[in-house]
Amino acid sequence: MTEAIQKIQSKCGFICDMDGVIYHGPKLLPGAKEFVDWLQREKKQFLFLTNSSERTPRDLRQKLLRMGIDVEEKHFMTSALATASFLASQCPNGRAYVIGETGLNQALYDVGFSMDDTNPDYVVVGETRAYNYEKIEIAIRLVLKGAKLIGTNTDLTGPTERGIAPACRALIAPIELSTGCLAYFIGKPNPLIMRDALKRLGCKREDTVIIGDRMDTDIIAGIESEIETVLVMSGITREEDFRKFPYRPNHVFSGVGEICGGQENQSNVEHSTLNAQR
């Protein structure tokens, strides 16, 4: 066992992305089940933190169950939940016009928000397959009337079973361009969602590690929140992508299974900060 793995295993809190780390589409990634089993066996505090706003924690739990992993709903946090929490703190019992899926709508309902397409406090945009020109027109009109523009996350694209699809940042861009109003984004890498995650874990940042497959969300989120970072190469990032970013993760692995010894290193990436910075 390397010193890097020992250091990670000694942490008490684990913040873990899902797509590209635990699964890809409907397929469980190698070593993922062993990693989750290890977290539970070692009684680690862990949270699956996803920038996706489409699904509820119950939906995510059911998805993992279908893959053979049993995790309670309390271990899931989404950008939709973080967005709802933030808006409830800013405008209790507010009103929102929402372009999004069930996960976002339910999160807002749960904190006391109501849906309003006439005079809302906020226009809130998340990932959705029900995106159309009419909804964009309504959102533009409401923002110009004074509604504040909120995005659940800054992801431009996201992986699907059929390849890359536009995500929240891409979907909200026409509204920003048409109104001249810049959206405020809640999900990773916003420190708001990271502080919320740490509170849910009950762990200090120095005792926590964040594991993800994206340099532009997971890794920068950890860096800006002073949380140790682990990049896994099982998702969207490739080794040649390192040169595009002015920052580096603390550790790089081919997959999460390496952390618990349930997967051999199958890439040429070393487990050290030094090699990650090259």
CATH number at residue 8: 3.40.50.1000
* Same-domain check for residues 142 and 47: no
Assigned domain for 190 exists: no
**What Cα–Cα distance (Å) separates residue 13 from each residue in 182, 214, 252?**
34, 20, 18
216 and 229 Cβ atoms separated by less than 8 Å: no
Phi, psi of 125 (to 5 degrees): -120, 130
| The two three-digit tokens of residue 256, written as one number | 């999460």
Phi, psi of 262 (to 5 degrees): -95, 10
For strands 114-115 and 122-125, give the pairing: unpaired
132, 151, 185 - which closes a domain: 185
Rounded mean pLDDT of 199-228?
96
β-strand partners of 208: 13
| The two three-digit tokens of residue 42, written as one number | 């070692």
Lowest mean pLDDT among 46-60, 89-103, 153-167: 153-167
Assigned domain for 60 exists: no
* Pairwise CA distance, residues 8 & 249, whole Å: 13
**Residue listed under structure tokens 């893959």:** 67
What band does 21 get if pLDDT is binned at 50, 70 and 90? very high
* Pairwise CA distance, residues 254 & 231, whole Å: 8
* Same-domain check for residues 166 and 225: no
* Ramachandran area for residue 49 (φ above 0: left; ψ -120 to 50: alpha; else beta): beta
pLDDT at residue 263 in the model:
57
Q: Which domain holds residue 220?
A: 3-51+202-276
| The two three-digit tokens of residue 153, written as one number | 């996350």
Q: Does 117 qualify as catalytic in the annotation?
A: no
What band does 224 get if pLDDT is binned at 50, 70 and 90? very high
Which strand (E) or helix (H) includes residue 104? helix 102-110
Say which of 17, 121, 213, 216 is annotated catalytic.
Answer: 17
* Same-domain check for residues 180 and 215: no
Assigned domain for 32 exists: yes
What band does 261 get if pLDDT is binned at 50, 70 and 90? confident
* Same-domain check for residues 164 and 212: no
* Same-domain check for residues 36 and 106: no
Provide Rg for the chain, Cα atoms: 19
Residues above pLDDT 90, as percent of the chain: 87
Helix 133-145 and helix 168-179: axis angle, to 10°? 50
Whole-model pTM: value is: 0.91
136, 152, 185 - which closes a domain: 185
Assigned domain for 195 exists: no
Assigned domain for 259 exists: yes
* Same-domain check for residues 173 and 101: yes
* Same-domain check for residues 175 and 209: no
Q: Could you give the number of structural domains in the chain? A: 2
* Same-domain check for residues 237 and 168: no
pLDDT at residue 186 in the model:
97
Q: Does 59 qualify as catalytic in the annotation?
A: no
Assigned domain for 34 exists: yes
126, 152, 185 - which closes a domain: 185
